[in-house]
Amino acid sequence: MESSFKTQPLLLLLLLLFTFSSITESNQFCNAGIEYGESSCGVSSSSSKILIKGGTVVNAHREEVADVYVEDGIIVAVKPNIKVGDDVTMLDATGKFVMPGGIDPHTHLAFEFMGTETVDDFFSGQAAALAGGTTMHIDFVIPVSGSLTAGFEAYEKKAKKSCMDYGFHMAITKWDEVVSKEVEIMVKEKGINSFKFFLAYKGALMINDELLLEGFKKCKSLGALAMVHAENGDAVYEGQKRMIELGIFGPEGHALSRPSLLEAEATARAIRLAGFVNTPLYVVHVMSIDAMEEIATARRKGQRVIGEPVVSGLALDESGVWDPDFVTAAKFVMSPPIRASGHDKALQAALSTGILQLVGTDHCSFNSTQKALGIDDFRNIPNGVNGIEERMHLVWDIMVESGQISVTDYVRITSTECARIFNIYPRKGAILPGSDADIIIFNPNSSFEITAKSHHSRSDTNVYEGRRGKGKVEVTIAGGRIVWENDELKVVPGSGKYVEMPPFAYLFNGIDKADAEYLSSHRAPVKRFKSTD
Residue 5 lies in a domain: no
Q: How confident is the model at residue 26 (pLDDT cuts 50, 70, 90)?
A: very low
Q: How confident is the model at residue 42 (pLDDT cuts 50, 70, 90)?
A: very low
CA distance 320 to 318: 5
Residue 288 lies in a domain: yes
pLDDT over threshold 90, residue 9: no
Strands 112-113 and 439-449: unpaired
> pLDDT value at position 242?
98
If you average pLDDT over every residue of the chain, what do you get? Answer: 92
Tens digit of pLDDT for each residue in 124-133? 999 999 999 9
> pLDDT value at position 532?
67
Is-contact 58 431, C-beta < 8 A? yes
pLDDT over threshold 90, residue 503: yes
Tens digit of pLDDT for each residue in 289-329? 999 999 999 999 999 999 999 999 999 999 999 999 999 99
Residue 3 lies in a domain: no
Q: How confident is the model at residue 448 (pLDDT cuts 50, 70, 90)?
A: very high
SS3 63: strand
CA separation (Å) from 233 to 74, 203, 374?
A: 45, 9, 19
Q: What residues have CB less than 8 Å from 164, skipping those under 6 apart?
A: 126, 129, 130, 135, 136, 137, 478, 479, 483, 491, 495, 496
Q: What is the CA radius of gyration of the chain?
A: 23
Type of residue found at 415: S
Is-contact 372 18, C-beta < 8 A? no
Omega within 30 of 0 (cis) for the link into 525: yes
Tens digit of pLDDT for each residue in 250-285? 999 999 999 999 999 999 999 999 999 999 999 999
Residue 73 lies in a domain: no
Q: Please report which residue ranges of 231-361 form alpha helices under DSSP H.
A: 233-245, 251-257, 260-277, 289-300, 311-315, 326-330, 343-352
Q: How confident is the model at residue 3 (pLDDT cuts 50, 70, 90)?
A: very low
* CATH number of residue 310's parent domain: 3.20.20.140
Residue range 200-223: mean pLDDT, rounded: 96
> pLDDT value at position 31?
42
Residue 9 lies in a domain: no
Q: What is the pTM of this model?
A: 0.92
Residue 81, phi-psi category: left (phi > 0), alpha (psi -120 to 50), beta (remainder): left
> pLDDT value at position 5?
36
CA-closest candidate to residue 270, choices 221, 326, 225? 225
CA distance 171 to 200: 13
CA separation (Å) from 100 to 132, 299, 332?
A: 13, 28, 30
pLDDT over threshold 90, residue 432: yes
> pLDDT value at position 47?
61
Query: For residue 252, how many other CB atoms are within 10 A of its CB?
Result: 20
Percent pLDDT > 90 in the chain is: 88
CA separation (Å) from 188 to 196, 218, 224, 527?
A: 17, 13, 10, 41
What is the H or E stretch that residue 136 is in?
strand 134-141
Is-contact 362 385, C-beta < 8 A? yes
The Cα angle at residue 27 between residues 24 and 28, in degrees rounded to 5: 90
CA distance 125 to 453: 16
Residue 106 lies in a domain: yes
Is-contact 11 19, C-beta < 8 A? no
> pLDDT value at position 246?
98
CA distance 44 to 428: 22
Residue range 49-73: mean pLDDT, rounded: 98
Residue 79 lies in a domain: no
CA distance 228 to 249: 28
Type of residue found at 75: I
CA distance 448 to 469: 5
Residue range 36-46: mean pLDDT, rounded: 38
Is-contact 336 288, C-beta < 8 A? yes
Burial class (CB in 10 A: 0-12, 13-18, 19+), 215: buried
Residue 184 lies in a domain: yes
Is-contact 322 375, C-beta < 8 A? no
What is the H or E stretch that residue 183 is in?
helix 177-189
Residue range 465-476: mean pLDDT, rounded: 98
CA distance 427 to 229: 28
| Domain count within the chain | 1
pLDDT over threshold 60, residue 45: no
Tens digit of pLDDT for each residue in 371-398? 999 999 999 999 999 999 999 999 999 9
pLDDT over threshold 60, residue 84: yes
Tens digit of pLDDT for each residue in 13-25? 344 334 433 333 3
Q: Tell me which residue range forms the domain holding 398.
A: 99-511
Residue 98, phi-psi category: left (phi > 0), alpha (psi -120 to 50), beta (remainder): beta
Query: For residue 217, how many other CB atoms are within 10 A of its CB?
Result: 16
Helix axes 260-277, 233-245, angle to 10 degrees: 170
What is the H or E stretch that residue 282 is in?
strand 281-283
CA distance 184 to 187: 5
Q: Which residues pair with 137 in a beta bridge?
A: 104, 166
